[in-house]
């Protein structure tokens, strides 16, 4: 049951726009939709990845070729493709970000960019944005909450992004990085009205006071990240809520205070997507309502910062020079040159970082080091290995990466049953004649993770925090 104050708020805001919405929130079931990872899936389709020939139920209009509706919800935990980073379960409405980012990147010249996703967990919008950016771009995904930041990190790693950084902390830290990003996305913490159909907590916790509290927090976040946006750059603001206080009203005031220009999202070309409320004629936006679209409720608006845009990648030299003392302190006891053959990017900078070895995108290496000084980063680039004594243990990040060289390690294809055992982090037995040492395990031809074959048994190297606990 919906809060009567909530339904009255909808009626008073715009009865025509919100006609049928209360019924949609209480009497209809949420859709199931997924995004396909074209950077890793390499021709696989949704039906094969889900193991169900009849499961596809149409394409998400604003995510053509990557977003798909499913006619039934599979047990995703049992789908290897999910753990391999070949698909991601995401609400269809949220997939609109890929459409937006592709258009904004073209407006900014089509070259490499830096994008900040300031409130990024669990990561679906980060993955959308990363896939829509031009080649050579960098994504920085930040999350305030410690546990949600770990989920964000896991999803970024599984998606295989070679040019991504994950940080943890308050958005106020980005004030230390003035004019660092060409695009900033803020999927702001909100009152959650758009999630009421599938989240009972969103229904029970709603109140006018919560709306006001969220709007104050959203305004604070926008103030924090505005300084990190370059002149001429774009702020993409979104919420999963309906009220004007957290949406048009907030954006209208922020734009006026900062001289920002409201930009067309390009999404209202889809007939089911509504524009901003008519009471805010200076604001362009897109509204997704579950009474009109096959997805949940979201609001999205774009602001352009005043000034002439100069791409962020022009700012700093690509490489980061360390002193001889730093190199001695950080270098693991191994030859870094031997790692270059493990990846397909010949320009990547392979460097030591504590007891690990990682590959950073050459054009962003210097900036990534700056981020590590100013933020609490928990992931950057592609970790290749962890050094323990004389042993170099290959990282699961490398197994998931889009730049893993297919010739880097011997491979062993394993069955579905063995795959599920591996994902539970149980011991598995490999076929006789399988090479000893570190192996890349695959399922259906796609990387799954590493194991160390000792002959009589194989050590399972799947990350312990990610293991499947319940089947």
User: Which residues are catalytic, by number?
Assistant: 240
C-alpha pair distances (Å), 455 with each of 4, 393, 423: 66, 18, 20
CA atoms within a 13 Å half-sphere pointing along the CA-CB vector of 17: 22
The answer to whether 386 and 355 have CB atoms below 8 angstroms apart is: yes
Residues 92 and 318: their CA atoms lie apart, in Å, by: 37
Q: Cβ neighbours of residue 312 under 8 Å, at least 6 residues apart?
A: 113, 114, 179, 180, 181, 182, 230, 367
H-type helices in 235-287, by residue range? 248-258
Q: How far apart are CA 375 and CA 171, in angstroms?
A: 10
Structure-token pair, residue 413? 């294809």
Residue 164 · residue 378 · CB < 8 Å: no
Tell me if 262 sits within 8 A of 236, measured CB to CB.
no
Q: Pick the closest to residue 86 from 461, 443, 470, 452 (CA basis).
A: 443
DSSP helix/strand/coil, 18: coil
Rg (CA), the chain: 23
């Amino acid at each position: 049951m919906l809060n009567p104050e909530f339904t009255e708020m909808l009626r008073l805001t715009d009865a025509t726009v919100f006609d049928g919405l209360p019924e949609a929130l209480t009497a209809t079931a949420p859709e199931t939709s997924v995004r396909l990872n074209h950077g890793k899936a390499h021709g696989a389709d949704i039906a094969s990845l889900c193991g169900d020939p009849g499961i596809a139920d149409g394409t998400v209009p604003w995510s053509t070729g990557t977003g798909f509706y499913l006619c039934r919800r599979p047990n995703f935990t049992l789908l290897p493709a999910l753990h391999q980073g070949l698909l991601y379960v995401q609400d269809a409405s949220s997939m609109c970000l890929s459409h937006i980012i592709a258009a904004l990147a073209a407006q900014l010249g089509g070259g490499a960019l830096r994008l900040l996703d300031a409130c990024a967990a669990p990561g679906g919008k980060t993955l959308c944005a990363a896939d829509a950016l031009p080649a050579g771009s960098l994504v920085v995904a930040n999350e305030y909450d410690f546990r949600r930041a770990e989920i964000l990190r896991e999803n970024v790693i599984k998606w295989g992004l070679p040019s991504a950084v994950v940080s943890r902390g308050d958005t106020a830290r980005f004030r230390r990085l003035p004019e660092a990003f060409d695009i900033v996305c803020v999927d702001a913490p909100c009152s959650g009205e758009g999630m009421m159909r599938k989240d009972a907590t969103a229904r029970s916790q709603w109140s006018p006071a919560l709306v006001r509290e969220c709007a104050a927090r959203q305004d604070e976040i926008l103030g924090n990240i505005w300084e990190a946006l370059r002149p001429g750059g774009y702020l993409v603001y979104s919420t999963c809520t309906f009220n004007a206080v957290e949406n048009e009203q907030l954006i209208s005031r922020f734009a006026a205070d900062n001289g920002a220009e409201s930009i067309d999202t390009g999404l209202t070309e889809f007939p089911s997507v509504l524009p901003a409320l008519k009471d805010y004629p200076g604001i362009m936006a897109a509204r997704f309502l579950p009474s009109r679209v096959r997805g949940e409720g979201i609001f999205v608006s774009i602001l352009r910062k005043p000034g002439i845009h100069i791409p962020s990648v022009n700012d700093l030299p690509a490489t980061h020079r360390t002193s001889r003392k730093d190199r001695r302190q950080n270098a693991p006891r191994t030859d870094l040159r031997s790692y270059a053959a493990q990846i397909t990017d010949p320009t990547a900078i392979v460097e030591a970082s504590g007891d690990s070895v990682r590959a950073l995108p050459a054009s962003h290496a210097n900036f990534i080091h700056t981020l590590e000084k100013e933020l609490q980063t928990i992931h950057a680039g592609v970790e290749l290995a962890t050094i323990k004594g004389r042993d170099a243990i290959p990282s699961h990040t490398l197994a998931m990466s889009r730049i893993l060289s297919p010739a880097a390690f011997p491979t062993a294809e394993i069955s579905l049953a063995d795959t599920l055992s591996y994902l539970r982090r149980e011991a598995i037995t490999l076929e006789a004649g399988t090479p000893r040492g570190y192996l890349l395990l695959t399922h259906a031809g796609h990387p799954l993770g590493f194991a160390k074959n000792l002959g009589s048994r194989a050590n399972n190297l799947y990350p312990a925090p990610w293991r499947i606990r319940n089947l």
